[in-house]
Chain A
Amino acid sequence: MNPQGRGLALFLRTFTAIVLVFLMAPIVVVFPLSFSSGELLTLPTPGYSLRWYDDFFSSSKWLLATRNSFVVGIATAILATTLGTLAALGIFLGRFRGKAFIVALMSTPMVVPVVVTAIAMYFAFSFVGLNNTLTGLVVAHTVLSVPYVLITVLATLQTFDRNLLKAAATLGAPPHVAFRRVLLPLIAPGVATGALFAFATSFDELVVAIFVAGPQQFTLPRQMYAGLREFLSPTIASAAVLLIVCSLALLAANEYFRARGKARTAAADPAEPN
């Protein structure tokens, strides 16, 4: 490489490093702030303590929000994964026109600005009494997260070799057995990824919660948002750290399932080791 090219490469790498620092810095900085012993969110911290975590775990508001977040997240994940996986299978198995239209229709919640979705649900829920209920929040989060499940499972099904179902049939397996012993194990990593997406979407969702949830249904993001608008206490930083840790766990789980899914579908293109 000529000196000019090397200079450019060095410039690009430095630039990239700066951008990566920019991307990570705010997330990293929250950690020391949350362990601060002081009242103010400033660096350097006067000392380290667990007082803000103590504050978090002894506050009934934050505990309720944590509980709500997990209840709504898990319910959403179960509902969205079930509905999305079934629909993806229907689209995969059916022989009809307009599949693209159905997928597009089910994916519209991804395209529509969240505020529009949020007020639409708020208006509609006011007629059926779903505002200020956990059920309403679960329904709303399910609609928001189901496109991710649908698209992930459909993508997994696209790598699924239909001949495997035919092979199972010629080996004597009735359709429901072929489904259970061949199709399901092979798409399981995709379904798991979809469930993670659904949980993560619900767990991080705020805008719909602002409209649809009352104080009794506050989730962690909603409680954080309320806290930010009232008084900026370091408890918010410790809540943020807990949310970041959850996100990291979800990301790690997602990478794990992706690697497993890859190992499975690799069978579709036979390597020739000899």
Chain B
Amino acid sequence: MAISRNNLLAAGLIAPLFVVVVASFIVPLLVTLYTAIGNPEVRQTLPLTTGALRDWNGEGLPPEAAFAAVIAELAQAQEGQAIGQLSRRLNFEQTGLRTLLLKTARAKETLAAPYRESLVALDTRWGDTELWQLLKRNTGTLTPLFLLRSLDLTLTPAGSVAQAPKEDAVFLPLFARTFVISFWVTVLCVVIGYPVAYTLSTLSQRAANIGMALVLVPFWTSILVRTTAWFILLQREGPVNALLRGLSIVDEPVTMIFTRFAVYVAMVHVLLPFVVLPLYSVMKGLDPVYLRAAASLGAPPWQRFLRVYLPMTMPGVAAGGLMVFMLSVGFYITPALVGGPNDQMVSYFIAFFTNQTINWGMAAALACLLLLMTGILVGVARLVVPGFRLGSVSP
């Protein structure tokens, strides 16, 4: 009795946050998933055409009713904004369809029955079976196209999966680049962070506190501010070039901004504390008795490090490294500001499709894949590091 009253109270306390997280996080993620596979444009804008194509078997040309419907509905769509969405959507299926649709919509007055002949006369593409197959395929509620395109695949008009044309096949190299950059950032962070954390853990408490403060201050400074600092420092006329020239290391200013080098420098700077902090706490908590035991058993310093210290601090390396990798994969601001066009990662294209080309389907599909990869990484992290939690490092 007391237990259930207790749990009722607990549920009441948890409920508000639960509702907020579900409503403003889980639901938006589901909306994104739907945006990646939803296909509402043809059904909504061309309902009669959709109906007329329902019984067409996909061979030859569809019945006259379909031609009549498509003319009427396209003209109607032109009065609202629907024509824009529809033509953008279908143009993504096949380049050139945008102009065809707009042209057809505008030509309503000049077209008379029989509509099949007059449409084909307007543009021969309307006599193309593949165009109608494409239209019919997109009368469905869902489409795999965005996800396929994210993987550099596409759909043929007949509906089978094929390699995307070379100029569109940019996403697998994009994912590969994202992984390569994230991998090297992780390696650099671990290789630099390990000795730093070790050295800090061997200092006197006073010196270690000062050292840790120098790690914590950047950690608490916002990513944008730190990236901005690098943006300023690495300019052609910026302080780093001034320093290099002042020291006569170079004669001409070196181009550093908008290069992969700048991306690595800024990302390592931003993410290094995520390795140093957990490693420091693991190393600080390590009982020196194990090293003494190893020494008394005859292990020379190098062996003590390799066979006792390193394995015992490995959980910290794994936790910090996975954390850095996971954060790197989703990086956006830093490469966008200090990197060049060939240094952008998946996040950049998600933003690009959302804001620039307004292709929400592609943005959502890339986001879903990025989310999936993060999920896999979290799963790996849980397997590799027992009790792995992202909260283990908080700002």
**Contact between chain A and chain B defined by CB under 8 Å:** yes
> Which residue numbers of A lie inside 8 Å of B, CB to CB?
5, 9, 12-13, 15-16, 19-20, 22-24, 26-27, 29-30, 33, 40-44, 83-84, 86-87, 89-91, 93-96, 102, 105-125, 127, 139-140, 142-143, 146-148, 150-152, 197, 200-201, 203-204, 206-207, 210-211, 221, 224-225, 228, 232, 236-237, 240, 243-244, 247-248, 250-251, 254
Check if A204 sits within 8 Å of B351, measured CB to CB.
no
When chains A and B are docked, how far (Å) is the Cα of A228 from the Cα of B32? 30
Q: Separation in Å of the A99 CB from the closest CB of chain B?
A: 9
Q: Chain A residues with Cβ under 8 A from B15's Cβ? A: 90
Q: Chain B residues with Cβ under 8 A from A12's Cβ? A: 195, 198-199
Check if A206 sits within 8 Å of B13, measured CB to CB.
no
User: Which of the candidate stretches B57-65, B75-83, B387-395 sits at the interface with the other chain?
Assistant: B387-395
Q: Chain A residues with Cβ under 8 A from B25's Cβ? A: 108-109, 117, 120-121, 143
Check if B217 sits within 8 Å of A86, measured CB to CB.
no
Q: Separation in Å of the A256 CB from the closest CB of chain B?
A: 13
Check if A94 sits within 8 Å of B395, measured CB to CB.
no
Check if B218 sits within 8 Å of A116, measured CB to CB.
no
Q: Separation in Å of the B25 CB from the closest CB of chain A?
A: 5
Contact A15:B199 (CB < 8 A) given known A27-B221, A116-B367, A232-B235 = yes
In the complex, which range does the number of interface residues on chain B fall in?
A: 35 or more
Give the A-B contact count at a CB cut-off of 8 A: 271
Q: Chain A residues with Cβ under 8 A from B390's Cβ? A: 107, 110-111, 147
Check if A111 sits within 8 Å of B21, measured CB to CB.
no
Q: Separation in Å of the A94 CB from the closest CB of chain B?
A: 3
Q: Chain B residues with Cβ under 8 A from A248's Cβ? A: 217, 220
Q: Chain A residues with Cβ under 8 A from B16's Cβ? A: 83, 86-87
Q: Separation in Å of the A250 CB from the closest CB of chain B?
A: 6
Q: Can you give 21 contacting A-B residue pairs, CB < 8 Å?
A: A23-B272, A27-B221, A29-B229, A86-B13, A89-B13, A90-B10, A95-B10, A109-B21, A109-B25, A112-B330, A113-B374, A115-B332, A116-B330, A116-B374, A119-B32, A152-B394, A206-B224, A211-B351, A243-B221, A247-B217, A254-B220
When chains A and B are docked, how far (Å) is the Cα of A5 from the Cα of B6? 59
When chains A and B are docked, how far (Å) is the Cα of A41 from the Cα of B238? 7
When chains A and B are docked, how far (Å) is the Cα of A94 from the Cα of B231? 50
Check if A5 sits within 8 Å of B196, measured CB to CB.
no
Check if B233 sits within 8 Å of A29, measured CB to CB.
yes
**8 Å CB contact of A115 from B9, B214, B235, B351:** B351
**8 Å CB contact of A111 from B273, B326, B350:** B326
Q: Separation in Å of the A211 CB from the closest CB of chain B?
A: 7
